[in-house]
Amino acid sequence: EAASSKPLYWKVTNPTLSPSHLQDLPGFTRSAYKSDHALITPESHVDSYAYLPPNFKHSLECDAAATLAVFERRYASLENHATEQIVGSTDQQPLLETPGEAFELRKLLPPSLPYDFNIHIMDFQPGEFLNVKEVHYNQHGLLLLEGQGIYRLGDSWYPVQSGDAIWMAPFVPQWYAALGKTRTRYLLYKDVNRNPL
């Protein structure tokens, strides 16, 4: 046989079932929208961040190409509590304790009462996974910044990779396992500090 011919079983040894190959199939998308979760699949990256208080007049200038991820929500105010503008970068945030869990955790906003949400940066080494099969009232928005793995949302199991965005409604069962050869880093919106009722 010619050296250039495809080896026997090339479809088996070629990982045609991996997400990057499936992307090329006509009509195929891993995106899903259900009543209690959604998976949306484009590309992205984050370095630094800013928190803008409610009704804060602002403009943004950028002197180089950049990607902007915006989480927008109606502020749930608390009497005698006010938030402040915050500008920071993930690397400056301390690693926080995560009892019983393997992932590394940083929070971008103060955990104090004025803030009605937080953004968590979570890092998993390949093979690490959430020990808690979480079900909680907090709603999540998630942006996968690095790596790949399996996200369980309700009764569905999704292969996911960097660039994917996920919405999790309150109480949707959620679980993640990091796979592949590089770490997973994801950015997680979580509403906190307010009575859900």
Site string for ligand UGY, 103-122 (x = CB under 6 A): -----------------x-x
Residue of minimal CB distance from Mn ion? 134
Which CB, 30 or 190, lies closer to ligand UGY?
190
- DSSP, collapsed to helix, strand or coil, labels residue 159 as strand
Tokens representing residue 178 in the block: 């990091």
Total residues at interface with ligand UGY (CB under 6 A): 10
User: Going by C-beta distance under 8 Å and a sequence separation of 6 or more, which residues neighbour residue 70?
Assistant: none
Opening angle at CA 55, ends 53 and 59, nearest 5: 80
Q: Which stretch binds ligand UGY (CB under 6 A): 25-33, 64-72, 109-117, 133-141?
A: 133-141
Using a 10 angstrom Cβ sphere, with 0-12 exposed, 13-18 middle and 19 or more buried, the burial of residue 53 is middle
Question: Which of 134, 169, 177, 180 forms a contact with ligand UGY (CB under 6 A)?
Answer: 134
Question: Which of 134, 169, 177, 183 forms a contact with Mn ion (CB under 5 A)?
Answer: 134
